[in-house]
Structure 1
Amino acid sequence: MLSFAGLLLGAIFPFAGAAATNVYDYVIVGGGATGLSLAVRLSEDPNRTVVVLEAGNSGIGNPNITNLRLNSNNFGTANDWQFVTVPQVDVGNRVQAQVQGKVLGGGSAINSGMYLRGNKDEYDALERLGAKGWKWDSMFAVVKESEHFHPPSQTEVETFNMTWNPAAHGFAGPISVAIQAVNVSHFFPEYAVPTLKALGHEMNNDPNGGFHNGPSWDFLTSLADSSTRSYAVSGYYLPVMNRTNLRVMTESQGSKIVWSSSSTRGLMTASGVEYVVFHESGVPETRTIDAKNIILSGSALNTPKILELSGVGDPEVLSSLGIDVVVDLPGVGANLCNQPITTASYLLKNGTVNAGNAIRSAIIDIQPFSGYLSGEDLKRSEELLQTKPDLLSEAQFKFMKEQIKAGVPQMEFAWNVAADANNVSTLRFDRLILVKPLSRGTVHINSTDPLEPPVIDPKLAG
């Protein structure tokens, strides 16, 4: 075990703190939900030393983070990487914002808090693609360990006809989950649900049990009966922040892996991480931290950037920037996939709904394509499924076609109603989300400067 005498480990260190000079057992680049939860689990062993490098600030105490209803206030601020795509040719050359959490907790600190597991068929497809042990039956019990579900009260159940399945939830995990009943309008159980049923959409008792089809209540990562966010910082890190073998360094942006050659086999071994900090003057300084094990947890947009700056990736991309190829791995930065959302907003007639000042949806509806497409559109979709998109692998295309034809949900429909100061709804927002798009994009670097953003091309309609 390494000695850390004189260091107050476990606290949050901004860049102004003393540079780490020890060799850590683990360095995790990225303090988002994955990075923090992994750091907490690894540091359960007091003989392991763990450090987390987070590019953003701690965000602790920021009401735009702690209050779920204020989450969009973080977009375009220092808590957001403020990435944008290249012009998207298939959607009129529009540039799309790619919101990414640049703050301790990552996306879990600034997202809308919706808590929804994947469909059973999606997990099972992962194992069929080669990820042994990732099928639904293996993962279900494990993922519930992170959840602390707070059931609705009997009054809420009776008032709003709320449904949930206790077998689909965990009750002792670090992340609080609840059905958000605060300010829920009677509009949903009295009007929305009957209307959906009349259209053939049966209510889903609880979508977290692996079956998504149909409208269901919206589960949120929040404390019971409040809008207080439960996320990676509050749930995982703060309860154990005084561990002497765990160090979190904020405002420390991981830039690339440091390599050393093996004298026995001639192989390159990762021995540390370069990271960038900023002084009060704004001048960046590059530092190095040594580690026996390095874990990159910088999201689908930042991790490829770090790998390519480190010489891991497609030789064509690397050589064009004069970067020596350490590992020839063409898949880095490929197969980029995100879930596009189309939003429509419109005015409601006076007195249509009393929303109780609610600004978020209480119910979501997830359906196969057939729930939204006309007969002609379905015919056209069948034709499109005969041709594989260029960047989609044959195995992925095969499984996705099978899921579409089997009626596995592909579209999510959510709506919000917004009320004015007099509790009268004036606006309605509808969102249609493509859950599993066939298009695939790329994310690569076009500069050796670690502070330059990556080039993001999701090919949203490609």
Structure 2
Amino acid sequence: MTTTSFETDYVIVGGGSAGCTLAARLSEDSATSVTLLEAGGRDWNPWIHVPIGYGKTIVDPSLNWRYETEKGAEIADRPMYWARGKVLGGSSSINGLLYVRGQAGDYDHWRQLGNAGWSYEDVLPYFKKAENQENGADEFHGDDGPLAVSNLRERNPLCDAFIDSAVEAGIPRNDDFNGANQEGIGYYQITTRNARRCSAAVAYLHPASKRPNLRVVTKAAAEKIIFEGTKAVGVQYEQGGRSVIVRARREVILSAGSIASPQLLMLSGVGPAAHLAEFGIPVVADVAGVGENLQDHYGAIITYKSRLPLTVNDIMTSPVRQVKAGLEYLLFRKGPLTISAAQVGAFVKSGPQATTPDIQFLFQTFSHDEYDAGLHKFSGFANVVCPVRPESRGTLKLRSASAKDSPSMQPNYLAAEADRRILVDAMKISRKVAERAAIRSHIVAEYSPGPQVQSDDELLAYARETGLSIAHQVGTCKMGQDAMAVVDETLKVRGVQNLRVVDASIMPTLVSGNTNAPTIMIAEKAADMIRRQSL
């Protein structure tokens, strides 16, 4: 049975990084009513809030959509596992906690594509507005925003040795990837406060949740946008076995992410007309770019066996060390349970042809193969390397006319020759670092790909067969001026009224690094644009 339950000024679909930010900012105006719909539940699971808990949440079906892509021709005919958050906070509640903005040139490029107001100079104030930087405010950082950005509390000797070896190999030291220059190696900063995860829900939504003009509805799976002609007037969602319609007096805003936002658009009649016709979906607006331009970071893992039992693997295979680590965290908020998915990062150039860094390192004091298999049983650590501005483009399409069926996703990893070349270069540079004395003294042997893999062709074959998604899917509702653009520079969906998309799917190109901080920035900027329009 379908019922019209209530009206509100704004309906936001998706309680992830963007949705939580938007809901909190728009509800600051007490005269404005905001409803946030989240398909998952509340963020009550304790593993969400312990930093190292991502090791559990990344495979937990109660918190994670656990998407699987189509098989990829260039990745040994494998499907790829995509972890995406199904809980308040979205993927910011299950991610690896890294705070990385990308390069100034990423945003200047967005502006050059015709997106006025999205240059680095334009977006920097929104990064600063969001940020509560432990090291204090300066030209690049803010210290009074909701999102806590902290230094790592756990400094493993392996990390220092890797940094020292990289510097010896010619990579400059950089203590702030989000400052004047991204290039170099150093420790990542992470989104924690007092050694607890600072998700978008913790940073933005929880402080706003007692406002009478903000309604948060969980376990509310959006089914379609309701249109009157080409005007979005509400959202139909399913909760507890019944369909409910919430009407929007001002706007419907999709913040469901790079997978669900384009899917919901197409289910609602906004997308490529020929594709919608395959499923008998009436066309509201023929927008060819919905589901196109899919981009993600694809990484290869170089794994080492450690000479000393300094790794997280060693802790997880020892009940005594597990108890010690747990007590250290509970009593002092220190120790290995405070770490992020990678502790040391580097942004390096693949060669003289690169004008800015085109490779990212994610150095980890643990090692694993498939996520579901858990950590290796030996002392191990790893470096994940990936090209940061991939040229490969994929697609997202419907499987059916039901929101219950996940879409068909084909990322086309490594389809572009440049991506293959840069990935091989990245592995070779990582190996050169591992040959230097400081980290070499900790290495028993390279476990994978192993010393038998040497040529470029062998390295590429290894990367094809074992590489993984870094879970940075973007671009499927891209912002722009060309025929494949889905939203304009104000994030309004083309061909319809009162409908915006505000999440990572609007990125025309993938930023040079992790995507959580840029997604929150997008929502901060969108909130300002929406408020200005309503004045």
Q: Deviations over 1:252-294 (max 9, x none)?
A: 0111111113xxxxxx21111111113xxxxx32221111210
What RMSD in Å do the two structures reach over aligned CA positions? 2.3
Matched, 1:32 2:16: yes
Q: Which residue identity is paired with 1:27?
A: V
Q: Aligned to 2:384, what secondary structure does the other structure show? A: strand
Matched, 1:312 2:270: yes
Q: Residue 362 of structure 1: CA displacement?
A: 3.0
Which of 164, 175, 184 aligns to 1:205? It is 175
1:168–1:206 contact (8 Å) kept in structure 2: no
1:185 corresponds to which residue? 156
Do the aligned partners of residues 165 and 431 (structure 1) sit closer, same or farther apart at CA in structure 2, a change above 3 Å counting? farther
Question: Which whole-Å CA distance do the structure 2 matches of 1:290 and 1:274 have between them?
Answer: 9
Q: Aligned to 1:307, what secondary structure does the other structure show? A: helix
Q: Aligned to 1:167, what secondary structure does the other structure show? A: coil
Q: Deviations over 1:45-77 (max 9, x none)?
A: 1111110110000123x1211011011211232
Q: 1:248-267 alignment to 2 at 5 Å? A: 248-261=216-229
Q: Which residue identity is paired with 1:30?
A: G
2:190 corresponds to which residue? 220
Q: Which residue identity is paired with 1:458?
A: P
Do the aligned partners of residues 352 and 276 (structure 1) sit closer, same or farther apart at CA in structure 2, a change above 3 Å counting? closer
Do the aligned partners of residues 446 and 236 (structure 1) sit closer, same or farther apart at CA in structure 2, a change above 3 Å counting? same
Q: Deviations over 1:402-440 (max 9, x none)?
A: xxx452211111221249xxxx99111221122111000
Question: Which whole-Å CA distance do the structure 1 matches of 2:187 and 2:410 have between them?
Answer: 34
1:157 corresponds to which residue? none
Matched, 1:44 2:28: yes
Matched, 1:459 2:416: no
Q: Which residue identity is paired with 2:183?
A: N
1:407 corresponds to which residue? 355
Q: 1:61-460 alignment to 2 at 5 Å? A: 62-76=45-59, 77-151=61-135, 166-182=138-154, 184-189=155-160, 191-224=161-194, 226=195, 228-261=196-229, 268-278=230-240, 284-292=241-249, 293-350=251-308, 357=336, 361-370=342-351, 405-418=353-366, 426-460=379-413
Q: Deviations over 1:372-405 (max 9, x none)?
A: xxxxxxxxxxxxxxxxxxxxxxxxxxxxxxxxx4
1:353–1:425 contact (8 Å) kept in structure 2: no
Question: Which whole-Å CA distance do the structure 2 matches of 1:452 and 1:406 have between them?
Answer: 41
2:132–2:143 contact (8 Å) kept in structure 1: yes
Do the aligned partners of residues 357 and 71 (structure 1) sit closer, same or farther apart at CA in structure 2, a change above 3 Å counting? closer
Larger radius of gyration: 1
Q: Residue 300 of structure 1: CA displacement?
A: 0.7
Do the aligned partners of residues 175 and 304 (structure 1) sit closer, same or farther apart at CA in structure 2, a change above 3 Å counting? same
Do the aligned partners of residues 363 and 322 (structure 1) sit closer, same or farther apart at CA in structure 2, a change above 3 Å counting? same
Q: Deviations over 1:142-186 (max 9, x none)?
A: 2111111113xxxxxxxxxxxx9843321101111111123x124
Q: Which residue identity is paired with 2:156?
A: S
1:82–1:100 contact (8 Å) kept in structure 2: yes
Do the aligned partners of residues 351 and 53 (structure 1) sit closer, same or farther apart at CA in structure 2, a change above 3 Å counting? closer
Question: Which whole-Å CA distance do the structure 1 matches of 2:200 and 2:351 have between them?
Answer: 37
2:137–2:143 contact (8 Å) kept in structure 1: no
Do the aligned partners of residues 353 and 29 (structure 1) sit closer, same or farther apart at CA in structure 2, a change above 3 Å counting? closer
Gaps of 5+ in 2: 315-334, 368-376, 416-535
1:40–1:237 contact (8 Å) kept in structure 2: yes
- Give the TM-score normalised by structure 2: 0.68
Q: Which residue identity is paired with 1:32?
A: G
How many residues were matched structurally?
Answer: 380
Q: Which residue identity is paired with 2:84?
A: Q
Sequence identity, in percent? Answer: 29
Higher RCO structure, 1 or 2 (CA under 8 Å, sep 6+)? 2
Q: Residue 131 of structure 1: CA displacement?
A: 1.1
Question: Which whole-Å CA distance do the structure 2 matches of 1:29 and 1:274 have between them?
Answer: 10
Q: Residue 33 of structure 1: CA displacement?
A: 1.1
